[in-house]
Amino acid sequence: MSIALPSPDAPMKIGTRGSPLALAQAHETRDRLAAAFDLPVSAFEVVKIKTTGDAVLDRPLKEIGGKGLFTREIEQALIDGAIDIAVHSMKDMPVAQPEGLTLDTYLPREDMRDAFVSHRHPALADLPDGTVVGTSSLRRRAQLLWRRPDLTVVEFRGNVQTRLRKLEDRVADATFLAMAGLNRLDMAHVARGPISPDDMLPAVAQGAIGIERREDDARTADMLAAIHDAPTATLLAAERAFLAELDGSCETPIAGLAEVHGGTLRLRGEILRPDGSECLSDDARAPVEDGPDLGREMARKLLGQAGPGFFDWRAA
Ligand SMILES: NCc1[nH]cc(CCC(=O)O)c1CC(=O)O
């Protein structure tokens, strides 16, 4: 196989959102590609793209609505040929991609756990009755209220830096962030520590970076194959099959986590009512290659337990 590699004169264009975390993820992708092909980083150009989700900061995400809030403009740039690859947090990605695009390259998964962040309280378990916590994640809100109905949850939008400032301003006394994001920003020190998945099951695909390309772009496909992490793909195949069968989007409180130990895949899944009044969960094991089947089965089982009405609030 011989492929024409990108060069400083004809760089590969890497599309990304402009947030510090998105840029860190784009740079990690660039550095892995440069290392794999012994290219200078100047053979790559990082192109910042503003999305609807970045532009609208004054409303809760669920009100702006729609799938692909943080991805639509980036995927359009890919389709238009303005960029060659797009780097995404897999947890923000819908299960299906637009016609003509492929999303099947993953970097090695970072820490998939949520982090507890608070200036005033050392741990989630120590939060006094009635503490005000901030999150814009429907999943974290529902999980917190399920375990701790006494807590007051307030909307907390913005990037990591914005959220930390809101804690300082005492808009809330604790918040939750993905460990992966903090690690990639070299900001793990702002967390009191990771939260065990037993206490807060992470979002499907949390901590994984995915790289999207045009389906018919063979050179890019060949290059991406060199940095793809197959173990991460195994985990995400199970988790995203679970999500797909639930027809999940960012409007639905869903959690899912796959892990492989000794050749066996363990999948934990959870669906909740947004107000935390009900939580349905499952925990099952299967041979590694059966992860997607296990994900679909688990989703159907939970949907069966939920019965009609569980997701009715979505229609409102
Ligand atoms: N919804 C925003 C988002 N998308 C991905 C991450 C973190 C990185 C990751 O999970 O890979 C975050 C921020 C957060 O949850 O703290």
Rounded distance between C-alpha atoms, residue 281 and residue 302, angstroms: 7
Q: Counting Cβ atoms within 10 Å, is residue 161 exposed (0-12), middle (13-18) or buried (19+)? A: middle
The residue ranges of DSSP E strands in 25-107, in sequence order, are 44-48, 85-89, 101-106
pLDDT at residue number 182: 96
Look at the block and give the residue holding tokens 């992490």. 229
- For atom 2 of ligand 1, the residue with the nearest CA is 92
pLDDT at residue number 316: 44
Look at the block and give the residue holding tokens 């989007």. 249
Rounded distance between C-alpha atoms, residue 163 and residue 169, angstroms: 10
For residue 10, the CA-to-ligand 1 centroid distance in Å is 32
**Which residues make Cβ contacts (< 8 Å) with residue 234, sequence separation at least 6?**
258, 260, 265, 288, 291
Tokens in use for 46? 């990082």
The tens digit of pLDDT for each residue in 140-179 reads 999 999 999 999 999 998 888 899 999 999 999 999 999 9
What is residue 210's three-state secondary structure? strand
For residue 181, the CA-to-ligand 1 centroid distance in Å is 6
Q: Counting Cβ atoms within 10 Å, is residue 101 exposed (0-12), middle (13-18) or buried (19+)? A: middle
Rounded distance between C-alpha atoms, residue 193 and residue 100, angstroms: 41
Catalytic residue positions, numbered: 92
pLDDT at residue number 254: 95
Q: Which fold has domain 237-307?
A: Double Stranded RNA Binding Domain (3.30.160)
The domain spans of the chain are 12-108+208-228, 114-194, 237-307
pLDDT at residue number 160: 82
Atom of ligand 1 nearest to the CA of 177: 16
Q: Rounded to 5 degrees, what are φ and ψ at 86?
A: -125, 135
- For atom 16 of ligand 1, the residue with the nearest CA is 177
pLDDT at residue number 35: 98
Instruction: Name beta bridge partners: 12.
Output: 44
For residue 17, the CA-to-ligand 1 centroid distance in Å is 13
| Best of 16, 21, 51, 190 for a ligand 1 pocket test (most atoms within 8 Å of beta carbon) | 21
Atom of ligand 1 nearest to the CA of 90: 11
Please tell me the CATH code under which domain 12-108+208-228 is placed.
3.40.190.10
For residue 4, the CA-to-ligand 1 centroid distance in Å is 34
| Best of 51, 89, 156 for a ligand 1 pocket test (most atoms within 8 Å of beta carbon) | 89
pLDDT at residue number 311: 72
Q: Which of 250, 260, 251 is nearest to 314 (CA)?
A: 251
pLDDT at residue number 60: 62
Instruction: Name beta bridge partners: 268.
Output: 257, 283
Q: Which of 223, 232, 312 is nearest to 275 (CA)?
A: 312
Q: Which fold has domain 114-194?
A: D-Maltodextrin-Binding Protein; domain 2 (3.40.190)
Rounded distance between C-alpha atoms, residue 5 and residue 209, angstroms: 23
- For atom 8 of ligand 1, the residue with the nearest CA is 181
Rg (CA), the chain: 20
Q: Which of 223, 172, 188, 180 is nearest to 90 (CA)?
A: 180
pLDDT at residue number 62: 60
The residue ranges of DSSP E strands in the chain, in sequence order, are 12-16, 44-48, 85-89, 101-106, 114-117, 132-134, 152-154, 174-178, 193-194, 209-214, 254-261, 264-272, 279-287
Contact (Cβ atoms closer than 8 angstroms) between residue 85 and residue 213: yes
Pocket residues: Cβ below 6 A from ligand 1: 89, 91-92, 177-178, 180-181, 206-207
What is residue 158's three-state secondary structure? coil
For residue 89, the CA-to-ligand 1 centroid distance in Å is 7
Sheet holding 254-261, edge to edge: 254-261, 264-272, 279-287
pTM of the model: 0.93
Listed as ranges, residues in the chain with pLDDT below 70 are 1-2, 57-67, 248-251, 312-316
pLDDT at residue number 70: 81
Asked if the ipTM is above 0.95, the reply is no
pLDDT at residue number 315: 46
In CATH terms, are 12-108+208-228 and 114-194 the same topology?
yes
Q: Which of 210, 275, 173 is nearest to 28 (CA)?
A: 210
Atom of ligand 1 nearest to the CA of 92: 4
Atom of ligand 1 nearest to the CA of 208: 11
